[in-house]
Structure 1
Amino acid sequence: MLDLLSPTGALGLVALGMGGYYSCRRYIDGCRVKVIVADAKTSVVVRQTTDKGMVTLRDVLYAECPSLTDPRRAFMVPTPYLATGLLQTIYATMRIRLCDRSSDVSYERNMLIMKDGATVSLDWCPSVEGKGPIALLLSGVGGSSQEHHIRAMAKSLVTKFKGSGFRVVVVNHRGTARTPITSPRPYDSGFTDDLRAIVHHVRTANPESKLIGIGFSMGANVLTKYIGEEGASCTLSCAVAVCCPFDIKVSSDAINQSNLLNNYVFQPAVMRTLMRAIKRAEHLTADPTWALDMTRINGAKRLWELEEELMVKISGYKNLAEYYERSGCVAYVDDISIPFLAINSLDDRITPPQGIPVAKFMINPSIALALVPHGGHLGFLTGFPPRIWFIKPIEQFVEAIIIR
């Protein structure tokens, strides 16, 4: 037995301690955030100041967003028992309805009717009127204003920027969050018409307010595609996309793989939500030109089956491949002309990094990409108890672009 009081034992303890320290340091270094943005010469100017002259998007990221670029702070170190993307995703899904001190917000709802008769609901926080900035939050498939990360993001923004009269409005897609279903056409990954109408409505009612878009997962894809479609005409002041799938085909292949996460967590949760919405729409008459096979729709077990039988036919696409190609925002990233930040995880099994158009972020001067090694899908949980990491960099980005 080693005598810990002997020179040999003491040296052993020192070696063990040093080994542990360097292993820990190496792990933390592996959690460093990587930012991809155009170089200093081409990065878009986001504002002008009297003392510094022009401030570019790159300047904003490296001077005012330390959570993303400060060598001492730009880390997303996972909660110890949530060290992998799979654990992050499962844990985040399990606490999707958690309401704690960080997310205890209340909303005031108003309904908006789309041109085809569909209803979307807008949940406002706080409900007071004003001229301050407004953030539009878009959730993922089957999501709503009641999800933990949505409520936590909303509370954080309105609390931090209370002095500026900051408001948040959460966009509840057709049929979600107990929104009445008044049209047989559902929402889908590439459907931007509703968001376009919502932005116009909010802009018209609040002409002096700056608008910010923040999307999560599918909502991030819809937001990004919309911004690209609008191009130089986009009225949003800036936008953030978290876990954006970009290439829907890559994401769909990942989601439909047979594995623990898909079979027992993601697919069942998404399918329950979508099938519930379909059942609630039974009183509506579908357009006969869609030629829907309701037997196949009602018996669907995987997301791709609904997409093929429902989304493809309703949108008039030839097949599933065309639906993926036309619905993904990857083809619209080049046309984004407002300050735009994407935050993605490299171990996200739902929106894998293979679908991220990294090269585009080096070319388009208006966009930036933050890559996190270990965050899973809409997890990004750090510390103990776990807290959502991406809230802080989003706050810093919004403050740098909108508040200052």
Structure 2
Amino acid sequence: MPLLTSNYDPPYFFKQPHFSTIYSGTIRKVKGVYQKRERINLPDGDFLNLDWSFSSRKASKATVLLHGLEGNAQRSYMLGSAKILARSGHDVCAVNFRGCSGEPNLKYHSYHSGATKDLRSVLHHIVHTKEYNEIYLKGFSLGGNLLLKYLGEGNPVPQQLKGAMAISVPCQLADSLTQLLSFKNILYAIRFKKNLLEKLRAKQKVFPDLISNADIARVKTLKDFDDIYTSKAHGYADAMDYYAQCSSLQFLASITVPTLIVNAQNDSFLGEACYPVEEARRSKSVFLEIPEYGGHVGFYGPNGFTYTEQRAVEFFAGL
């Protein structure tokens, strides 16, 4: 598909990447979203908590939302998406990844950028217990990478799945890590590492034989965390093996469901390899939009909704 031209042109301050990112992540508030929690059991004995928002009228379509690293269903970008999609006639299933719903998950392993088995379980649950004619996916950052990998790695995609949208996607995980470890992103990296280490210490109390104090003390960077925990807990040799196997870039050519990727040109989390220009040009199903502005999951917009929240409604309606 040809690359899509973007008309996103925010107010001056929201053209600054860090302001846009920080506003969306910590300042923006979304009110008026009611969520009803549903717990599903996973094949390995763990669980996921799904937070549903419902359209005011009986809906024949549903959208599944997937959050980013250390996010949850109550983040503003998840609530804003749920609110606008419910207004447009979708029921919305906001997935909390393992350990992200306010209570620890049961297993030593948790979630990561390529954990598509859990997405398969969510879709299987919806298809077999609900009555939707159309299902859509929308993922942010880590969740965007996960959904792209799911769509392209050969899973039996439900016939109800009609389209997907991925926002601020680190399509090449090692490239994104390089950006996160650079000075320009030091404050974000510190915050991510702090949250991840808190969860790892909680894991240690339950699984003391699997993680030691010495292991935790060795975590100085996000890559260290992936070397010591993420890769080992999920069956990868090390961090680089995890990044290589789970980066969605390699799976884009196999995607057959209409899919829109929106990555801002000024996203400080993304390096050059995270903009799959040639892959989109060669694909019949993958659309790529690269707005000049937006930061990382920023995209400020008028009337209380971001540009990508409005864009999702338009894209899904046009399929």
Tell me whether 1:369 sits opposite 2:297 in the alignment.
no
Tell me whether 1:99 sits opposite 2:21 in the alignment.
no
User: 1:347 Cα shift?
Assistant: 0.7
Aligned twin of 2:20: 88
Pick aligned residue for 2:306 from 368, 388, 396: 388
| 2:179–2:270 contact (8 Å) kept in structure 1 | yes
User: 1:78 Cα shift?
Assistant: 2.2
Pick aligned residue for 2:37 from 83, 91, 109: 109
Pick aligned residue for 2:227 from 308, 329, 335: 308
The separation in 1 between residues aligned to 2:99 and 2:142, in whole angstroms, is: 15
Paired AA for residue 116 in structure 2: T
Pick aligned residue for 1:270 from 192, 202, 207: 192
Aligned twin of 1:176: 100
Aligned twin of 1:120: 48
The separation in 1 between residues aligned to 2:180 and 2:243, in whole angstroms, is: 13
Aligned twin of 1:355: 274
The separation in 1 between residues aligned to 2:224 and 2:56, in whole angstroms, is: 43
Map residues 174-253 of structure 1 onto 2, 5 A cutoff.
174-230=98-154, 233-235=157-159, 236-253=161-178
User: 1:348 Cα shift?
Assistant: 0.5
Aligned residues with identical type, % of pairs: 24
Larger Rg: 1
Stretches of 4+ moved more than 3 A in 1? 127-131, 230-235, 291-294
Q: 1:298/1:213 Cα in 2 relative to 1: closer, same or farther (>3 Å)?
A: farther
Deviations 1:34-59 (A, max 9, x none): xxx259xxxxxxxxxxxxxxxxxxxx
User: 1:292 Cα shift?
Assistant: 4.4
| 1:190–1:221 contact (8 Å) kept in structure 2 | yes
Q: 1:322/1:201 Cα in 2 relative to 1: closer, same or farther (>3 Å)?
A: same
Aligned twin of 1:78: 10
The separation in 1 between residues aligned to 2:55 and 2:39, in whole angstroms, is: 14
Pick aligned residue for 1:134 from 46, 54, 62: 62
The separation in 2 between residues aligned to 1:117 and 1:130, in whole angstroms, is: 33
User: 1:300 Cα shift?
Assistant: 2.3
| 2:56–2:87 contact (8 Å) kept in structure 1 | no
Task: State the TM-score, normalized to the length of structure 2.
Answer: 0.91
| 2:10–2:301 contact (8 Å) kept in structure 1 | yes
Task: State the TM-score, normalized to the length of structure 1.
Answer: 0.73
Larger CA deviation: 211-220 vs 297-306: 297-306
Deviations 1:166-212 (A, max 9, x none): 20000000111213421111211111111111111111112443110
Aligned twin of 1:346: 265
CA RMSD of aligned residues (A): 2.4
The separation in 1 between residues aligned to 2:83 and 2:248, in whole angstroms, is: 28
Q: Which blocks of at least 5 consecutive residues in structure 2 are unaligned?
A: none
In the alignment of these two chains, the number of paired residues is: 318
